Amino acid sequence: MIREFPHTAGLRSLQEVGSFLQEKRAQWESGKTFCYGIWRKEQPAPIGQIQVKNVAWEIPSAELGYFIGKAWQRQGYASESVRGILRVAFQQLGFQRVYVRILPSNRESFGLAKKLGFQEEGSQRKAFRCGLGDLHDVLYLSILAEEFSKDGNEDTK
């Protein structure tokens, strides 16, 4: 997780967590980032996180970043959570485009994005510095509002 999410993986003290939450609240209130936790109904501890970030209101578009704890991967939690946040992003926030940046080695995340209807846009070389300090290439995929509705990704629950 340090490699893909360097800013959250390093939270080690209550003070650091408090500062992180304060920062996310301020970003939420200013419309810059929307950070969501992922929980299972029967358990009080979070199992993951989703962020709608790098918001460009003039388009409007945003980047989606997500992770699920290793013990909870490949059980449908990420699919359900990302699909729900896409619904919020398109229907409530009015975004026209949502994109993800994925390290080429993260085949699980790439597969999830493709399953949810994201289309490949290409890659950028050495465009992400991970928590370990290394530079990595990044794959870009996006989904448009009309694709989300058209492809049946929108649940009517």
| CATH classification of the domain holding 26 | 3.40.630.30
Coil, helix or strand for 9?
helix
Whether 156 maps to a domain, the answer reads no
Mean pLDDT for the stretch of residues 29-52: 85
Higher pLDDT, residue 5 or 146? 146
pLDDT at 52: 94
Residue 6 predicted with pLDDT over 60: no
d(CA 125, CA 119): 19
Tokens 């990302």 correspond to 82
Q: Please indicate, yes or no, if residue 59 is contained in any of the structural domains.
A: yes
Q: Give me the amino acid identity at 123.
A: S
Show the domain range for 100: 6-150
Q: Greater confidence, 15 or 152?
A: 15
What is the number of structural domains in the chain?
1
Evaluate whether residue 1 is within a structural domain.
no
On whether residue 155 sits in a domain, the answer given is no
Residue 88 domain-assigned?
yes
End-to-end CA, the chain? 32
What's the pLDDT at 22?
A: 73
Residue 63 domain-assigned? Answer: yes
Residue 20 lies in a domain: yes
Residue 124 in tokens: 């950028």
Query: To the nearest whole percent, how much of the chain has pLDDT over 70?
Result: 82
Please name the residues in contact with 80: beta carbons below 8 A apart, sequence gap of 6 or more. none
Q: What is the mean pLDDT of the chain?
A: 84
Please determine, for residue 4, whether its predicted confidence score (pLDDT) is greater than 60.
Answer: no
Report the pLDDT value the prediction gives residue 154, as an integer from 0 to 100.
Answer: 58
Query: What does 101-130 look like in DSSP terms, one character per residue?
Result: EE-TT-HHHHHHHHHTT-EEEEEEEEEEE-
pLDDT in tens, 92-151: 999 999 999 999 999 999 999 999 999 999 999 999 988 788 899 999 999 999 999 765
pLDDT at 91 over 50: yes
